[in-house]
């Protein structure tokens, strides 16, 4: 078996996921096309060397449908020989795209892959594909389908995280993200998105609110009370009948932001380095996906992290930095508790609460973010993980070279 290396990565800034967001006027295919061009051009790649483009996208219908992976490659003037596919493992799609790319390289089936993702949440809303899971009453019933916010509040209830606990974490995410941007830590990897005239539409994550405080967050009403009372609290408690009542603590300020974004990671075999004139930056050491209880949904990261550590023959102590998608503050608190991860080793540049979570792209963005940070700090290993819809979890370990 061959090793799979990360040669480069690039991402768009994350636009606010609303009609007034700076990327709202950019079609999803245009957004990811600019990112695909950039990842090619940064290395002055002959795109015919690329075997495949693997793009994560969680609402792959309408203008995000018809296999964005292949079509965006064509749109980006990649050589016609470059295949493409779209992949959906919900929130981990971007990371799963990276893992699929790595697997193909390790298996010797491909030599060079562009793996990433795209999601224009301001244009194609989450859940707009109206899949069976939430919408077919028989399936929703059978699987105890519960929206993830209720699951997050259940985690807070089970683990006894108070409103202040989750809000304090959210404030940290904001402050770390603001500091990281101010220090220019993202500069080398964030691609300004431009209009057809070449004018910049967006060059910085715009969801951030650096002046957030615990007391400013305290003014926000919990977002999932009405939904819970309409039936979902009961559904989840039927799955967890030792709970008397779900304490609702999550809201827009301590949950991942809805944003638009795209990302791409260049993954290849060692031999490709000379062909493309680049040194590899990191080795993809191991990756894993798991399933866990789908109704509470958000408990995957610990299981996925433990599995990938096992696969890599490593222990928690061998990991220098963690990058966990901040779907909800309670998810992060639980992961830190379960894995005994100190706060200063995880999401050290802030996370999705501050910067947003463009569903299909986030996983790839997290890989890039933590790789840049490993390089900046001179550290060796990182573990990237996300909680995933329907109780899955995905994790990847990278090793800086």
Partner 1 sequence: MPTHEDSNLSAAVAYAVDGDGIATLTIDMPGRSMNVLSDKMTEELAQLIERVATDAAVKGAIVTSGKSSFIAGADLRELEKLAFGLLVQDPGALLQHVAKMGNLWRKLERCGKPVVAAITGTALGGGLELCLACHHRIAADNPKAQLGLPEVKVGLLPGAGGTQRLPRLIGIRAALPLMLEGTSLSPRDALRAGFIHAVVPANELLSEAKRWLLGAPRAVAPWDTDGFIMPGVINGQRTDESAAFFAGAAARLQMKTLRNYPAPAAILSAVYEGTQVPIDAGLAIELRYFATLLRDPVAGNTVRTLFVNKQAADKLEARPSDIPHSKVEKVGVLGGGMMGQGIAYVSARAGMQVVIVDRNTDLANAAREHSRALLVKAEARGEEIAGGIEAVLSRIKPTADFSDLAGVDLIIEAVFEDRGVKADATARAQAVIPSGAVFASNTSSLPITSLAETFARPRQFIGLHFFSPVDRMQLVEVIPGAKTAPETLAKALDYVRQIRKTPIVVNDNRNFYTSRCFRVFPEEGMAMLAEGIAPALIENAGRMAGMPVGPLAVADEVSMQLMFSVRAAEKADVGAAYVSDPADPVLELFVQQLGRMGRKSKAGFYDYPDGDKKALWGGIQKHYPQAAVQPDVDHVRKRILYRQALEAARCLAENVITKPTDGDLGAVLGWGFAPYTGGPFCMIDTIGIRCFVAECEALAQAHGNRFEPPELLRQMAANGELFYPRSG
Per rule CB under 8 A, is residue 130 in the interface with partner 1?
yes
Q: Which of residues 229-248 bind partner 1 (CB under 8 A)?
A: 230-235, 237-238, 241-245
Instruction: State the minimum distance, in angstroms, from the CB of residue 378 to partner 1.
Output: 46
Per rule CB under 8 A, is residue 134 in the interface with partner 1?
yes
- Angstrom distance (rounded) from CA 274 to CA 41: 16
Angle at 206 between CA 195 and CA 344, to 5 degrees: 135
Q: Output 30 or 233, the one with its CB closest to partner 1.
A: 233
Segment near partner 1 (CB under 8 A); pick from 79-87, 136-144, 202-210, 335-343: 136-144
Question: Contact with partner 1 (CB under 8 A): which of 63, 136, 270, 318?
Answer: 136
Instruction: State the minimum distance, in angstroms, from the CB of residue 73 to partner 1.
Output: 29
Question: Contact with partner 1 (CB under 8 A): which of 19, 44, 138, 342?
Answer: 138
Segment near partner 1 (CB under 8 A); pick from 75-83, 105-113, 139-147, 257-265: 139-147
Q: Out of 91, 248, 250, 349, which one is annotated catalytic?
A: 91
Instruction: State the minimum distance, in angstroms, from the CB of residue 130 to partner 1.
Output: 5
Question: Contact with partner 1 (CB under 8 A): which of 25, 108, 137, 277?
Answer: 137
- The count of chain residues that interact with partner 1, using the rule CB under 8 A, is 24
Per rule CB under 8 A, is residue 140 in the interface with partner 1?
yes
Q: Output 100 or 236, the one with its CB closest to partner 1.
A: 236
- Angstrom distance (rounded) from CA 66 to CA 4: 28
- Angstrom distance (rounded) from CA 264 to CA 114: 6
Instruction: State the minimum distance, in angstroms, from the CB of residue 147 to partner 1.
Output: 9
Q: Is there a catalytic annotation at residue 57?
A: no
Q: Output 106 or 158, the one with its CB closest to partner 1.
A: 158
Whether 167 and 214 have beta carbons less than 8 Å apart is answered as yes
- Count of other CB atoms within 10 angstroms of residue 109: 11
Instruction: State the minimum distance, in angstroms, from the CB of residue 139 to partner 1.
Output: 9
Q: Mask of contacts with partner 1, 322-361, x by CB under 8 A?
A: ----------------------------------------
Per rule CB under 8 A, is residue 83 in the interface with partner 1?
no
Angle at 63 between CA 60 and CA 64, to 5 degrees: 25
- The dihedral sign for the CA sequence 353, 356, 360, 365: negative
Q: Is there a catalytic annotation at residue 349?
A: no
Q: Token match 């610990």: residue?
A: 302
Q: Output 296 or 312, the one with its CB closest to partner 1.
A: 296
Instruction: State the minimum distance, in angstroms, from the CB of residue 126 to partner 1.
Output: 13
Q: Output 136 or 203, the one with its CB closest to partner 1.
A: 136
- Angstrom distance (rounded) from CA 288 to CA 270: 22
Q: Mask of contacts with partner 1, 192-231, x by CB under 8 A?
A: --------------------------------------xx
Contact positions vs partner 1 (CB under 8 A): 130, 134-138, 140-141, 144-146, 230-235, 237-238, 241-245
Active-site positions read 91, 357, 387
């Amino acid at each position: 078996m061959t090793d799979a290396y990360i040669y480069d990565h690039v991402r768009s800034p994350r636009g606010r996921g609303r009609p007034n967001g700076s990327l709202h006027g950019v079609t999803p295919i245009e957004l990811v096309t600019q990112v695909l061009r950039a990842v090619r051009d940064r290395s002055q790649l002959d795109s015919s060397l690329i075997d495949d483009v693997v793009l994560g996208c969680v609402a792959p219908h309408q203008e995000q449908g018809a296999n964005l992976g292949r079509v965006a490659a064509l749109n980006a003037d990649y050589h016609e020989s470059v295949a493409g596919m779209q992949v959906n493992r919900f929130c981990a799609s971007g990371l799963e795209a990276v893992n699929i790319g790595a697997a193909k390289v390790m298996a010797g089936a491909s030599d060079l892959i562009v793996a990433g993702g795209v999601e224009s949440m301001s244009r194609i809303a989450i859940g707009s594909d109206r899949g069976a899971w939430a919408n077919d009453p028989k399936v929703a019933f059978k699987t105890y389908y519960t929206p993830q916010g209720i699951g997050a509040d259940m985690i807070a209830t089970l683990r006894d995280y108070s409103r202040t606990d989750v809000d304090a974490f959210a404030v940290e995410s904001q402050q770390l993200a603001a500091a990281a941007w101010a220090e220019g830590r993202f500069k080398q990897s964030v691609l300004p998105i431009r209009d057809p005239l070449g004018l910049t539409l967006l060059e910085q994550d715009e969801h951030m609110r650096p002046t957030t405080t615990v007391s400013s967050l305290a003014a926000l009403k919990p977002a999932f009370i009405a939904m819970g009372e309409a039936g979902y609290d009961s559904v989840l408690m039927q799955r967890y009948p030792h709970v008397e009542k779900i304490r609702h603590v999550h809201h827009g300020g301590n949950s991942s932001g809805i944003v638009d974004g795209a990302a791409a990671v260049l993954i290849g075999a060692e031999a490709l380095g000379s062909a493309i004139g680049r040194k590899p930056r990191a080795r993809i050491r191991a990756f894993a996906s798991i399933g866990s209880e789908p109704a509470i949904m958000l408990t995957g990261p610990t299981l996925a992290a433990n599995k990938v550590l096992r696969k890599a023959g490593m222990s928690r102590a061998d990991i220098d930095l963690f990058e966990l998608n901040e779907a909800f503050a309670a998810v992060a608190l639980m992961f830190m508790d379960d894995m005994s991860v100190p706060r200063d080793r995880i999401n050290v540049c802030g996370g999705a609460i501050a910067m947003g979570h463009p569903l299909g792209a986030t996983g790839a963005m997290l890989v890039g973010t933590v790789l840049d940070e490993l390089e900046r700090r001179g550290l060796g290993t990182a573990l990237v993980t996300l909680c995933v819809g329907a109780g899955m979890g995905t994790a990847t370990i990278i090793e800086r070279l």
